Amino acid sequence: MRPDLVRALRLLLLCAVLSSATLVRAQDSGDKPPTGMTIHVVQRGETLFRIAQRYGTTVEDLARLNGIRNPAMLSVGQRLLVPSAPVQAEDAAIGIPTSYTLQIGDTLFKLAATFGTTEAAIARRNRITNPRQMYIGQRIELQEGSEGVRSIKTGWIHRVARGETLYHIAARYSASASLIQSVNRPRRPDLLYIGQPLVIPADENSFPLTDLPAPLARFEMTPAEQGRTSALRIVTLQPTQLEITFMGRPVTVFSDEARVTHVALLGIDALAKPSIYPLRVVSTAQDGVQRTFEWRVQVADGGYRSETITLTAEQMDLLNPAITQPEEQRVRQVVSAITPRRHFGGLMGLPCAAPVTSPFGTRRSYNGGALNTIHAGADFAALPGAAVYAPAAGVVVLAEPLIVRGNAVIIDHGWGIFTGYWHLESLNVRAGALVQAGDVIGAVGSSGRSTGPHLHWELFVQGVQVDPLQWTKQSFP
């Protein structure tokens, strides 16, 4: 056999062993991509999202560039135009940050690859004994390093293109430059030659986590805090059904018609201990294949004050569970419904044109007892008879006098979001009425167990009472 053929076969064999994906540069394929562009040949198991991540671009841009209508329909061998960032000399000296905040999908491997160090070095520096206990929002201290080179089980073969540096190649594969260097042992790492094959090591288990594992394409979560609402938005690559559990509670997920965009609103109990809680996502694809993902999410302290309320024996009697419990159960039952029709959108308005005198979440102790209750709403100091407005559209599901809450209104805004208005002087609406934002639903009063005229406003997210004022400053997806 001809020696060059033997060499080619040997290389082919090496490729088969080492690579699950081969990056084909323009000069290999014979195609002439436009300036600033490269051709990528789709490999088995690749998604548009993964390709976009590899080239530092977005699914939307790749789809537009290649006229792809359905990103889920990629075929193996398909050629895609991808932008290739011009290589600058400065690329060889990428700055390494000294700290980093953990995001969804991060692993020690990804951090090590991104910041040119090793998993062991990061773990040691941050005293991480169990990587499973890392959580979103965790601050990681970093230091550049190249100790502890690992053995390689799988990887990619990359052929060096004109102008590429080791750092540029490392960045493209989210791999560590020092690791690539130690594996390939180039004589002059500063002088790579065009067409030079480089083995890009990849950890068989961890590498897929450098992006999100299929079918997840995008994962966004707003900060989780005691007594506040956190929004979770997930985009999947194909129609998927998601089941989410957070802090041990199942959370209802709302998906679009195509079942690729999914939103969940998480109400976080104001009395929940600030800590790290598991967020579990179970995805079920159209073919019935299920996958389970688990992340650790930090629930931050809500910064609430505490107060002691002194009551006389007679007033204490008003807290008698025999009186408060049946009403509490009634309200709980009303706000536990989850209506799939969404009425809210954008910021909520304020229900009353008056200052807030007592915010949501203040811890309360009665007569020096334990701080185990909270002020479950926001109080507006309005004059008796002042108008109370619906802050968003919805359906009135309760409008009647109650013993503790007085004349009460509860509006169902859909998706398990309810608002409650207590101690009203009069009611302007009946149960079953559809209201729009700004409609007058009643007048401020002091009915029920109230010490003076005020509006007490509450908001429930799938049964959990949270700060309603957050919804007047932040809109949810």
By the criterion CB under 5 A, which residues form the site for Zn ion?
Answer: 377, 379, 456
Which tokens is 368 given? 């020096």
- Tell me how far, at minimum, the Cβ of 423 lies from Zn ion, in Å: 8
Closest separation in Å from C-beta 410 to Zn ion: 15
Distance of CA 171 to the CA centre of its chain: 25
Chain position whose Cβ is nearest to Zn ion: 456
Closest CA to 427 of 381, 383, 387: 387
In this complex, which beta carbon is closest to Zn ion, that of residue 215 or of residue 391? 391
Q: Which is nearer to Zn ion, 298 or 373 (CB)?
A: 373
The CA-atom distances, in angstroms, between 475 and each of 250, 266, 319 are 23, 14, 36
Q: How far is the CB of 375 from Zn ion (least distance, A)?
A: 6
Which is closer to Zn ion, CB of 377 or CB of 391?
377
Q: Taking Cα atoms as reference points, which of 298, 262, 246, 264 lies closest to residue 102?
A: 298
The CB-of-297 to Zn ion minimum distance in angstroms stands at: 30
CB neighbours of residue 408 within 10 Å? 26
User: Do the strands 363-366 and 306-309 form a parallel or antiparallel pair, or are they unpaired?
Assistant: parallel
Among residues 377 and 414, whose Cβ is nearest to Zn ion?
A: 377
> 250 by DSSP, 3-state: which?
strand
| Closest separation in Å from C-beta 405 to Zn ion | 10
Which amino acid is residue 206, in one-letter code?
S
User: What string of DSSP letters covers 136-201?
Assistant: BT-EEE------SPPP-SEEEEEEPPTT--HHHHHHHTT--HHHHHHHH--S-TT---TT-EEEEE
Minimum CB separation of residue 379 from Zn ion in Å reads: 4
Contact between residue 62 and residue 48 where contact means Cβ atoms under 8 Å apart: yes
**173 versus 457: smaller Cβ distance to Zn ion:** 457
For Zn ion, the closer CB: 54 or 456:
456
Kindly tell me the burial class for residue 250, based on how many C-beta atoms sit within 10 Å of its own C-beta (0-12, 13-18, 19 or more).
exposed
- Report the residue number, 203 or 379, with the smaller CB distance to Zn ion: 379
Name beta bridge partners: 198: 158
Cβ proximity to Zn ion: between 361 and 394 the closer is 361
Provide, rounded to whole angstroms, the least separation between the CB of residue 320 and Zn ion.
Answer: 19
Least distance (Å) between residue 422 CB and Zn ion: 7
Give the list of residues 6+ apart from residue 278 with CB closer than 8 angstroms, or none. Answer: 245, 246, 247, 294, 295, 296, 297
E strand or H helix at 388: strand 387-389
